Every structure is written in C-alpha cells, then in structure tokens.
Structure 1
Amino acid sequence: MSTPPARRAAPETWAVPASWAALLATAAMAWVLTVRSSSGMAPGPGTMGLNLWGFLTLWGLMMAAMMLPAVTPVVALYLRTLRAHATGWTRAGRSTSLVVGYLCAWEAFGLAAFGAAWAAGELAARAPSAAPWVGALLLAGAGLYQVTPLKDRCLSHCRSPVGFLMHFGGYSGRLRDLRVGFYHGAYCVGCCWGLMAVLIVAGVMNLAWMAGLAVAVFLEKTWRHGKAFSLVLGVALIGYACFVPWNPSLIPGLYVPPTMSM
C-alpha cells in the first residue's frame, strides 16, 4: 500500500514555517546579545573602543539582528528549490549554509564599516566644526543613493531573487550553498550599504537607529510598496541632513559633546 499523500506532504508543509521560526528566533537572540553588548555604551563617534576583531564580532551580531528578518522569504524560496535535491536534515543544513554565506558578505562589509567608524571618530575629535557638514553630506548621499538605478537593481534582486536561485543550479561542491548565500548577500550589501553608512553617522551602537533601519530594510524588501517606500526614505534622509550642520547632536557618530571633549 502506498504512503498516504498527507503523510508525504507533512515534511514539506512544515519546512518553510520552521525556517521562518528559526531565522526570527536567531534574529531575536542577536538583538538580545547586541543590547547586552551595548550596555553602558552611549552612542558616540568611533569604534566604541573596540579593536578590529571585537568590532567585527559586534558587527556580525548587529547584521544578524537587523537583516535576518528580511532574508526569511529568500530562505523559504530556497528551501522550495531544494525539494528535488535534498530531504530532511540535509535541507536544513544547506539552508543554514546559505544564511552563513549571506552573513559573511555583511561581515566582509564590516571591514569597511570599521574603517569608516574609526575615521568618523578621528574627524569628530580633530575637526569638530567640519564633522557636521561631512555628516550632512553623507546622509544626503545615502538619501540620493536610494533613487539611483544601482539601488533599484539591487533592491529588485532582493525583492525577487528567482534569478539568483536559478543561477545557483550551476554551482557544485560542498561550498555551493555558502556561495549562493554570499552572492545574495553581496546584492544585499549593494542595496543597503547607504543605510549602514547612516548607522555609522548615527553611532554604531545607537539602538534606536538600528531598530529604525532594520524596519526600513524589512519594508523595502518585503512590502509590496517597498520601492516607493525606498524613495520616500531617501527624501527623508536628505531632509534630515539639512538640519545637521546647525544641530550636530543629531548625528552622534560624528559629534563629541562638550562634556566629553574636556
């Protein structure tokens, strides 16, 4: 007697919801660890006293917290493509490799973020009068990037990654899923690097800005009005930049309060 259809379908039925739950739980844990790591650290310029490895560790936690909710639809789609190639725990392992590869792309970007944060700290300390203007230009640049064709291309890839999932069929070997994740992560970096530059300007450990940007990334990538939202966000960043030169405290990542500079 053949296996009842409902029994065969059960593993497939639960695979996608389980992947969503696992990723969201991981993101929640990353938020908890990030908040604990920031305990006693006020948002400010520089790398918060962290060396490169400490910064990259914290950056990895931050990216897991901010980005994993937005990547859950991609992982779910990837699981569906794996049905013909893997079963059971093999699917879970391969989708995990995809997520690891994705985070590796953001960790690589963390090297640039470390350099930018260090430069921001130096600028705030050595040229406090120029720092607000630089910050305003960076915010305006991030806003302008929101309306560029490159942003639109990367965002379209993140919103509809069918093409890259078809491309992965040409990959082979044990590292194929890591390569797919890194490939998608590179597009995500291309989509969101401007918003991460905003995070540097706002202060690396600025939890309020982290939460706001995480919501913005999620809406850009998953909401049906995500492209329009991206344009509105760009205009908002440009508008915010206009107030910065006359109120430097709006950008803690490039501002040293008088009490700290004494």
Structure 2
Amino acid sequence: MGRIAEAALARHRAITMAALALLVIIAWAWIALGAGMGMPIHAALALFPHNPTTMPAIGSMAGSTPGFALTFSMWWVMMIAMMLPSAAPTVLLYARASHRRTGDPEPPTAIFVLGYLIVWGGFSALAALGQSWLQAHALMGAMTMQSASRWLSAIVLLAAGAFQLSPLKDACLASCRNPAAFISRHYRPGAAGAIRLGLIHGGYCLGCCWLLMGILFVGGTMNLAWIALLTLFVAAEKMLPHGRRIAIASGIGLIGWGVATLLV
C-alpha cells in the first residue's frame, strides 16, 4: 500500500510540475507577444512617435473599464510569469509534506497555488490602479508604459533600494528561502488549509518583492528584458546560497541609481 501511495504521489508531483511549467510558458508567451497591450502600443509608438492625435486616445483608454481590465490582466499574467518559477520548490514540498501528514497521495496542491496567485492578483489590481493614475496625470507614458518623470523614477528606485535593506525584507525573504520551516509552521490539512497556506506564502513573497516590482514602472511594464531580469533576480534572492547578500548589494545599487537619476 505504501508503494502504491508513493507511486501516486510521484505521479501527482510530475503532473504538478508539468502544470506549473505550462502555466509559466503560457504567461511568458503572452508577455512576449504583447497580447492586447504591448505589441499594439509599441508598434504605434514606432509608427507614430509623439503623434498628438493618438496619445490622448491611448491615454484615456487606460482609465476606462476595458482599459483597466486589460492593464490588470497584463499585470497578473506578468506576476504569474515572474513569481511562479521561484515558488515551484515550495509547491512541490507542500505536496510531499501534505502526503506525509495525511497519507493523501493527491494533496490539494492546485488549491495551494490558487491561494498564492490570489495574492498576486490583488497586487496586480493595485498596480493597475497605480498605472492608470500615473498615466492620467502624465507621470507615465501611455504608449511606452514607463515613467515620464525623473522624480517618480528616483522615488521608486530609492524606495526599492531602502526596502532591500529593511528588517521587513529580511523577515519575508527568510520565510521564502526556507520553505520547509514555513510549511511546518503554517500547515493545516484539507482544502481550507491549502488555500490558507497559499495565501500566507503569497503574502510573504509579496512582502519580499512588491517594491522591486515597482521598478517596472521605471524600466517599462511591458519591457521583456526588465521582466526577465527581475524574474532572475527574484529567483536568485530566494534560491541561491547568499540570497541576503544579493538583496543588500541590490539595495545599495538601487539607491545609487536613484541618486544618479536625480543628478544626471
């Protein structure tokens, strides 16, 4: 019976890994193709740079209900693409820990992931609201989707850098870097326990990275290079042996970048 359960768990883990990989691939494909926003807007910028007749129309779209829904979708898919890869080890560890505690060869892993993504959905809604407000006040380019204000860029960079050096960053990063201790502390059985654990884990990851995501306002919210760079950086912080040192070094670098933005 034990071998049968272990085989079922191994199958469940394989399916989970495949599902996570597929979800991440789809999200990255969506970003790369610029579905709905990126490609058309950047194409318009290339074809009609500084066209005074098109900029107001595109800018006003961001504040509309369809425009907000599109911006929210962009952010949420982007967060899935960026954050799910570094969460995968915790997801797989949860499946094994749940099996060991309950004997269930098919633990509610999908519900755990759902809780995690709900947190990033909430963040995406706030980010979309922020982007709409910034565009409405001409602080962010409607077509370039990046900061149009030196002061805004500097404030974001300085805030992100300071946060990288803060005790809150330390606490959240420590939890993300030690999934075994996190699961041991917060685990509850069943579907309700799974979504609760996903929400808590998402909260820690959000606490660890939310100001880093603000850098996208500086580099461009649909800039593929910036998205990829931040994805790798978040994974390095969480998974490499000296993640805390990486965070400290990046904090110093971001503060320097923010100061340079004001002075240059």
Report the TM-score when normalising by structure 2.
Answer: 0.79
Please give the secondary structure, in 2, of the residue aligned with 1:35: helix
Rounded to whole Å, the distance in 2 between the matches of 1:167 and 1:86 is: 19
Rounded to whole Å, the distance in 2 between the matches of 1:17 and 1:199 is: 33
* CA 1:108–1:125: 2 relative to 1, 3 Å: closer
- Aligned position for 1:124: 139
- Aligned position for 1:97: 111
Map 1:37-116 onto structure 2 (within 5 A): 37=35, 38-42=38-42, 49=62, 51-83=67-99, 84-85=101-102, 87-88=104-105, 90-91=106-107, 94-116=108-130
- Aligned position for 2:48: none
Aligned residue pairs, count: 238
Higher normalized contact order (CA 8 Å, seq sep 6+, divided by chain length): 1
Map 1:1-262 onto structure 2 (within 5 A): 9-36=6-33, 37=35, 38-42=38-42, 49=62, 51-83=67-99, 84-85=101-102, 87-88=104-105, 90-91=106-107, 94-121=108-135, 122-124=137-139, 131-169=149-187, 171=188, 174-245=191-262
Percent of aligned positions that are identical: 32
Q: Which runs of 5+ in 2 are unaligned?
A: 46-57, 142-147
Asked if the contact 1:120/1:201 (under 8 Å) is kept, the reply is no
Rounded to whole Å, the distance in 2 between the matches of 1:29 and 1:98 is: 20
Asked if the contact 2:72/2:127 (under 8 Å) is kept, the reply is no
Asked if the contact 2:111/2:191 (under 8 Å) is kept, the reply is no
Q: Which runs of 5+ in 1 are unaligned?
A: 248-262
Rounded to whole Å, the distance in 1 between the matches of 2:67 and 2:171 is: 35
* CA 1:96–1:109: 2 relative to 1, 3 Å: same
Please give the secondary structure, in 1, of the residue aligned with 2:165: coil
The CA deviation at 1:7 is 5.7
Rounded to whole Å, the distance in 2 between the matches of 1:47 and 1:161 is: 44
**What residue identity is the alignment partner of 2:91?**
V
The CA deviation at 1:221 is 0.8
Asked if the contact 1:41/1:205 (under 8 Å) is kept, the reply is no
RMSD between aligned residues: 2.9
Asked if the contact 2:102/2:189 (under 8 Å) is kept, the reply is no
Rounded to whole Å, the distance in 2 between the matches of 1:198 and 1:25 is: 27
